[in-house]
Structure 1
């Protein structure tokens, strides 16, 4: 029953699409009959009435045969179109339309398939981002449990046996403070990860003193630098077009990594920030530490999400998200982030602030907004 109804609905759709065509054919037949009648009026007996009837029947028959053949050619297309509509809630419904008969239908089917492919690509991208976010949340929770457990054990120990001297109290306070700083850094990373999805809503570009941003980031890590004998040094001055909040986040990641992978080396270590203005008004910032360096085979992957490499497995403190987020932020701001490293010697991160970077960022945001609006339509 449903199949018969579907067949008749296809026939009705076919005929409805050709109403104008049928009207034109009937108009031509009517005009031809009028011409026959005019000739019959001018020259009585020249054309017999049966000839007119024969012409009308023959024209209608030929046109009916053409409609039947055209429908036979189109019926599979209508059938696939109906099935695609019935299965529109399935991802592969658009791929059902394969029997396009006309050039217009082939173009429409190709457009539909291209749109379906673009939709799947965007869907897979969102799934990938969701997987990354879920994995990061799970890993972040695991890492946050460690400082919470350490603080809890220290408090229980202090309650059970309070420190006797001021020195012991200061050691306890210092240890608790170190763990709370780890919690703060973890919470900050989680917060910026959440903001990254709506980056264009949380960005403010203005001319900023890069030297002031660097000094502010260094002051936030001053206690750890003193504790691990790391001596920062800033060379040069420069003003750049950037977002100071997002850029501070990037600098904090680079400084945290420098401290993390330098603190176990003995003696005094340096952390150098070198600013250089290029003739084309672009600015280059090089952040060089004296840490343990990065293995050559790990360098191509350090900006991948969750990649920790040999150093991360050695220290056990890495989530593999810090450099990934720093790279994403720099890319969205129109800046370039690169790395060079020598194992056992140190690592240099280079950020290039290009004069056209703000326009790159703007075009990316416009493209993202267009994709969102197109998806809403």
Structure 2
């Protein structure tokens, strides 16, 4: 009954129009003194026709309501465009619902893909952070936990936690960037100091050729990139050391060069892909495949570039082009 009242309310304009016409005809019959019996017969026939018409329309109204209530997919809301009674507005409603349904499914698919990537990252991250925890636990059981090992493993845990937070923020960096003038030499020194314990523990040398460069960038995010590149260099370098310098030709680039184990040629072209660890990562089992991926994504948003060349057994050279490509007005 409630639905029927809603239907009557939806058809109120047509009913008011009908009553107006009935009243107009009644006035005309009265003015011309036409017998009321002829008028009453016409009223009865028209009322009967109105009732039948409204009954049929209410049937289709009720069916459409139930289809919508049951959540039938947009292309099936209406039987066919060729069916009688399928109005132009119905076609437009179906087209609109179809478009909205497509956009909804695309958005849901995008969210599901994003959530899956996040879950994959959590899986890799949880596996990665277990390594320093396991080392600490083992050394404690063997009573071999000295201060240097404790500092190293706690630093790794802190770095993995920071990487997780940066990964979550990475897709919203547009509102997080603070561009400023940065003393590149000082930034490199501050970054290297954080890893001093690893240089000492592995007996690695470090060389910094002054760059005398002031760049425009975001200090926090750029330092995160330097940390990822430097930690990778330390991780895969067992003898020799790391050198950081500025290469002026063919264009100014900050170079982080190590004497580590190097990267296979087939891996070197894929190290910036999400989750790709390559031969070294599978061998050492301590890589998530996200550090260099995040570094490249961040640098792109900062307007910088990153590249890598390597030779197995000879080391790796990572180059950072820190000139502003996006904001260059010339």
User: TM-score range with shorter-chain normalisation?
Assistant: 0.7 to 0.9
Sort the Cα spacing of 1:222 and 1:198 in 2 relative to 1 into closer, same or farther, 3 A: closer
Q: 1:19 aligns with which of 12, 21, 34?
A: 12
SS at match of 2:261: coil
8 Å contact 1:236–1:274 — kept in the other structure?
Answer: no
Q: 2:189 aligns with which of 202, 215, 222?
A: 215
So what's the TM-score if we normalise by structure 2?
0.75
Distance 2:222 2:196 in 1: 18
How big is the shift at 1:125?
3.9
8 Å contact 2:132–2:156 — kept in the other structure?
Answer: no
8 Å contact 2:209–2:245 — kept in the other structure?
Answer: yes
Which residue in the other structure is 1:103 paired with? 91
Sort the Cα spacing of 1:319 and 1:130 in 2 relative to 1 into closer, same or farther, 3 A: closer
8 Å contact 1:305–1:320 — kept in the other structure?
Answer: yes
How big is the shift at 1:107?
4.5
Which residue in the other structure is 1:152 paired with? 140
8 Å contact 1:238–1:277 — kept in the other structure?
Answer: no
Sort the Cα spacing of 1:11 and 1:177 in 2 relative to 1 into closer, same or farther, 3 A: same
Distance 1:15 1:236 in 2: 82
Distance 1:357 1:224 in 2: 37
SS at match of 1:294: coil
How big is the shift at 1:178?
4.2
Which residue in the other structure is 1:76 paired with? 63
Cα RMSD after superposing both structures = 3.7
Which residue in the other structure is 1:307 paired with? 276
Cα deviations by residue, 1:216-249 (Å, 9 ceiling, x for unpaired): 112333454462234343535132131x222212
Structure 2: gaps of 5 or more residues: 79-85
Which residue in the other structure is 1:231 paired with? 207
Distance 2:215 2:164 in 1: 27
Which residue in the other structure is 1:29 paired with? 22
How big is the shift at 1:214?
1.8
Which residue in the other structure is 1:272 paired with? 244
Which residue in the other structure is 1:185 paired with? 156
The answer to whether residue 307 in structure 2 is matched with residue 339 in structure 1 is yes
The answer to whether residue 124 in structure 2 is matched with residue 136 in structure 1 is yes
Count of residue pairs the alignment pairs up: 311
So what's the TM-score if we normalise by structure 1?
0.67
The answer to whether residue 263 in structure 2 is matched with residue 294 in structure 1 is yes
Structure 1: gaps of 5 or more residues: 1-7, 85-93, 158-171, 359-377
